[in-house]
Structure formats: structure tokens, C-alpha cells
Amino acid sequence: MEYPVCDALIAPEGSLEVLSRAEVSKLLDTSQTGLHQVFRNCALAVLNCGNNLDDGKILLERYPEFDIQITQRERGIKLDIRAAPASAFVDNKMIKGIHEHLFAVLRDILFTSDEMSVQALSEPDSGKMITDLVFHTLRNADVLQPKLDPNMVVCWGGHSISRSEYDYSKRVGYELGLRALDICTGCGPGAMKGPMKGATIAHAKQRISKGRYLGISEPGIIAAESPNPIVNNLVIMPDIEKRLEAFVRTGHAIIVFPGGVGTAEEILYVLGILLHPDNKDIPFPLIFTGPTEAAGYFSHIHEFIGETLGPDAQQRYQVIIDDPLAVAQAVQAGIRSVREYRKSHSDAYYFNWRLKIAQAFQQPFIPTHETMRALSLHKQQESHALAANLRRAFSGVVAGNVKVQGIAAIEKHGLFEIQGQPDMMASMDNLLSAFVEQNRMKLPGMRYQPCYRIIK
């Protein structure tokens, strides 16, 4: 099947009008150490916005002729785009939001490449250095606004959700927007788009012209979760760990909508951080919510958390079913507590410096058959350490489901094997089986092939 494509030559708007010769050289370098491949793949994902696809490998195969080059002109740079998805254009002119996102990708890939090169010469394993990289990337993208009161609500949830769950996320976003709260998501479709869409209507009613719709992605997942054009500030972090740290450092509250294994990974990440002894007194509103039909989903999640991390973890969140107003009011009250705490401790409103994030949550986890088999999945460890290992297990399943490298590894070597304490493996098997039965592993209409085998 052929897919319609378009060519374009576009200039930046308001940023990155010029690049150095060294920067252009890195972006055109097709070697393993060059940036062209990651830039090309991220750009294609941005241009694929709105298409019903969540498989990075298929996306690359669907547009094999796609390419993007940097053209240096005396008055600045232009992007020369060939064989791009036609859905990114209206009457042969690129949609403005997609146009902006392309240059956000360019900005962040260059910036993080330089920052990580500097870190490699100093303290590559330092938690402080990693947090500084997250901070610098967000600051470079103009995300950090020191003069604003806390109002950023992070919304997590799946891209493969039902229509009623999507509509519910819009209703929650609407209630948040009426209270002048801004939205941050993983920037893709489904539960990442719904809250932003609802908030835009509410912001318009409240005559809020500068509402912020922050999207945070990373090269490994962006092809499966193409940024939606509502996002007016897109940030590409180097990997999933820095992406997750960016969420919890910039957000003042987190709402979790129904999702699948990626959402479970995010839940385990934030719970692992909140369970660290150094964070026990830090207020951090965390709410799980969905329509009535999602009650079973959160029941499975709640049960899994109780059976693995215990009742202390269950105390760190609220579950609110089918009540957008109650969700928004709970978030608003929680953010007031966040503001008072940070004010009393002289902590910044725009970046949560006091939050302790152990290196187990910061170091990139590369899911291979060896690393997946080697995970320590047992209860003879502190709960926050167990949460870190469980998070890695779910991260591996995400990679095998939708990421290009993970899919290729499964095709070459067979299924990932996950092994550990028998009762914990039974709990994980029950949870993942529920996700499959509820069609939460892939987009509707796409057949799911498991990428893992649980060894009991």
C-alpha cells in the first residue's frame, strides 16, 4: 500500500535561525555517532501526527523514502523535507503546530547531545549531573517560568483507550482549565491529548490566552506517540528516565488516566520516588481517575501495588472514579499544599529541587534479553528499590511492544523472559493479562503479540 507524501522547504520561526557548521555536520552525520538517524526518526514521528499507528518499526517501513536535510543559507537555515506524510500538510502547507514541533526536535537533539558530551568528560554516573541535564534542557526550551505560581498538572495515561475514556479525560482537562491550571502530558494521542483538548476550551472561556500545553517525549517512544499539535511547548529528552524525571520535577500534581503497560511503568516510577524515606514529607498530589468502565483497570493496578509494594504505597495516591469535578478540586487543594511547602522551604515553584531521586531511577535501562532476565524482582529489598526494578520490567515490555530496537530484539532472539519471586510473578502475570484482555496493549483493531514470557 502506498501512502501519500509531500515535500517541503521550511524556515524556523523565532528560534534556531542559524546553526554552526559543526552543528550542521552532526545533524547530517549518518554514522553511529552522528545525529542524523535520531533526528530523521523523531522528525518523521512529528510529521506522522494524527495517523493511527503505534509501532515505530512500521512507521519507518511505511515511509522509506522520507528524509530531512539542513540547508545553510546566508540568511539562516532551512529544513529540506522529502516524502513526508501528507497528513502534516493542508493545501501543501505544513500545519503550524507541526512546523514548530520540528524545530523543537532540532533544538533539543542538538542541545542534549552537547550537554551529554560535556557530562561524559566529568561525572557520567552522578545523579546531580543527570538532574542538571534535565534542568538545563527544560530551561533551554523555555519551560521553566520562575514568576508563575504552581499550576502545572501532569496527566499520564494510555494512547490506546476507549472513546468514553478519552472523552472523560477531556472533561477532567476542562475542569482543570476552568481553574487556570496548565497541562503537561507525554504529548501523544489518547489520554495525553484529551486533557489538553478539554483545557483549551476552558482556557478560552476564562480568557486565558497563554495557557501552557507542555509535551515531553523521548526518541525511543515518539514514533509510537506522535506529538499532538495542541502541544505549544514540546521537549525531547534523551531517554525515558530523563523524561520521567522532567515530569516529576516540573509538575505540581499528577493525574493518571487509564492506560496500559507504559502507564503502569509511570505509576511505579512516581511511587518509587515517593516511597524513598527522604521524600516522605514532601506533598505530591497523585490521583488515579477514569470513567465508570475504568474502575476495573484501577482495581487491578491497586491490587498489584498492594501485593508488591505494600499498603504504604497505596496510601500515596487517591482513586476517584467518574467525577471530573472532584478530581479538579482535589488537584487544586493539593497544589495549594505544594505551594505552601515550597514557600516555607524556599524551594523553587518551577522545578522540584528537593525531591530525592535515587540513581536507580535515573540511570538508563537498556532492555535486552540479558538485562530483563537479571532484574531483581523479590521483596527482600526496600520498597523504593523494588519499585525501580518493577519499573524496569514494565519498561522492557513497552520497548518490546512499540520501540524499534525492542521490536527488533524480539524478532531476532524471541520473547523477553521475566523471572522473580513466584507470588510477585503471579501478580505481574495477572496484571499484564488484564491489560491484554482489555485491549490496552495496542491501538484498537491491531492484534497484540506478546513480547514477554513470565517465568513462574
pTM: 0.91
- 127 occurs within a structural domain: no
Boundary (domain end) residue, out of 74, 95, 122:
122
In angstroms, rounded to a whole number, what is the distance separating the alpha carbons of residues 191 and 186?
A: 9
- For 366-386, how does the pLDDT look when each residue is reduced to its tens digit (9 = 90+)? 999 999 999 999 999 999 999
Q: Are residues 378 and 425 in the same domain?
A: yes
Q: Are residues 213 and 98 in the same domain?
A: no
Note whether 255 and 155 are within 8 A (CB). yes
pLDDT for position 2: 78
pLDDT for position 192: 92
User: Is the pLDDT assigned to residue 356 strictly greater than 80?
Assistant: yes
Phi/psi of residue 187, each to 5°? 80, 0
- 42 occurs within a structural domain: yes
pLDDT for position 451: 85
User: Is the pLDDT assigned to residue 118 strictly greater than 70?
Assistant: no
Q: Are residues 46 and 176 in the same domain?
A: no
Q: Higher model confidence: residue 345 or residue 440?
A: 345
**Which pLDDT band holds residue 288 (cuts at 50, 70, 90)?**
very high
Point out the least confidently predicted range of 126-130, 135-139, 300-304. 126-130
- 129 occurs within a structural domain: no
pLDDT for position 444: 58
pLDDT for position 445: 57
CATH number assigned to the domain comprising residue 73: 3.30.1850.10
Point out the least confidently predicted range of 51-65, 249-263, 280-294. 51-65
Average pLDDT of the chain is 90
Q: Are residues 329 and 376 in the same domain?
A: no
Q: Are residues 163 and 52 in the same domain?
A: no
**Which pLDDT band holds residue 213 (cuts at 50, 70, 90)?**
very high
Number of separate domains in the chain = 3
Domain that holds residue 223: 137-344
Point out the least confidently predicted range of 65-74, 112-121, 144-153. 112-121
Which residues are CB-neighbours of 196 under 8 A, at least 6 positions away?
A: 173, 183, 185, 213, 228, 230, 231
User: Is the pLDDT assigned to residue 35 strictly greater than 70?
Assistant: yes
- 177 occurs within a structural domain: yes
CATH number assigned to the domain comprising residue 289: 3.40.50.450
Boundary (domain end) residue, out of 122, 157, 184:
122
Q: Are residues 172 and 118 in the same domain?
A: no
User: Is the pLDDT assigned to residue 1 strictly greater than 80?
Assistant: no
pLDDT for position 15: 64
Q: Are residues 66 and 199 in the same domain?
A: no
- For 383-442, how does the pLDDT look when each residue is reduced to its tens digit (9 = 90+)? 999 999 999 999 998 888 777 788 888 888 999 999 999 999 999 888 988 888 887 776
**Which pLDDT band holds residue 179 (cuts at 50, 70, 90)?**
very high
Boundary (domain end) residue, out of 69, 96, 122:
122
- 326 occurs within a structural domain: yes
- 350 occurs within a structural domain: no
Q: Are residues 109 and 23 in the same domain?
A: yes
Q: Are residues 118 and 259 in the same domain?
A: no
| pLDDT, average across residues 236-257 | 96
